[in-house]
Amino acid sequence: MRTLISIVAIVTGLTPAPAVAEPSQEGSADHTAGSQILKHEGTDAPRTGESPPTAGKVPGMDVSSHQGDVDWREAWEDGARFAYVKATEGTHYRNPRFTQQYDGSYRIGMIRGAYHFALPDRSGGAEQASFFVGNGGGWSPDGRTLPPALDLEYNPYGEVCYGMDQKTMTAWVKSFSDEVVARTGRHPTIYTSTTWWNRCVGGSVKFGDDHPLWIAHYSSKLGPLPAGFDFHTIWQWQAEGVFPGDQNLFNGAHPQLQRLAAS
């Protein structure tokens, strides 16, 4: 059966379903990209009632099992052209809706990628990266697959920096990144907020030199970027809206999005 699944994946370019979510110490916890950022930092988007400028940018979305089976045709018709799909969390959780979401977005025509919700105090960066890549977080040079993304944000269970100082957290991020590069050939996209990153990681390593930045800030104005980044690639600007899940903008036109996926 395993061989047959592998052959199907190679022929179709799609991803076999990961196993159903396994329970963690807290149960089948499933934290979405930005869930802890929204909790700690809030949003001023509802107060301003404004949307960020969209000219020359590409709208997209990110989803997890919380969205269930996504109506990808409706999302496409509403204007979404790319998507990030949660694949894993820590080394215990695999999104049971991953195949419907990841392959469904591909089939409708979107450029899509997978993301991993990090729990740095549970296991090493390389270990979590290996779990992620082995359960949907891969990459292929098909021009339709975004770099695998690492979701770094406030600890859902305790101290915001997971009990790590900046030096230790920086080493964890680098270990995760190095393993993703070794397994996929791509540096991972880093998802975070400026406040969390500057507090918990800092700028001793300029990750922005080779890691795309997916910045979370719920407002009509972006604000400052995290230390070590001079440019943002994707902005998660609202936690809900027209599309299922979070609302995102790619910082460029569609041909640039295609180039990100292809190289």
Residue of 41, 153, 179, 246 marked catalytic:
153
Q: Is 65 left (phi over 0), alpha (psi -120 to 50) or beta?
A: alpha
Work out the angle at residue 135's Cα, subtended by the Cα atoms of residues 234 and 260, and round it to the nearest 5 degrees: 30
Residue 55 burial (10 A CB sphere; 0-12, 13-18, 19+) = exposed
Residue of 62, 89, 179, 246 marked catalytic:
62
Residue of 30, 151, 179, 246 marked catalytic:
151
Residue 62 annotated as catalytic: yes
- Report the interhelical angle of 125-133 vs 166-184 (nearest 10°): 30
What is the rounded distance in angstroms from the CA atom of residue 145 to the CA atom of residue 113? Answer: 5
Q: Which residue has the tokens 């296991």?
A: 123
Residue 26 annotated as catalytic: no
Residue 178 annotated as catalytic: no
* Residues forming the active site: 62, 151, 153
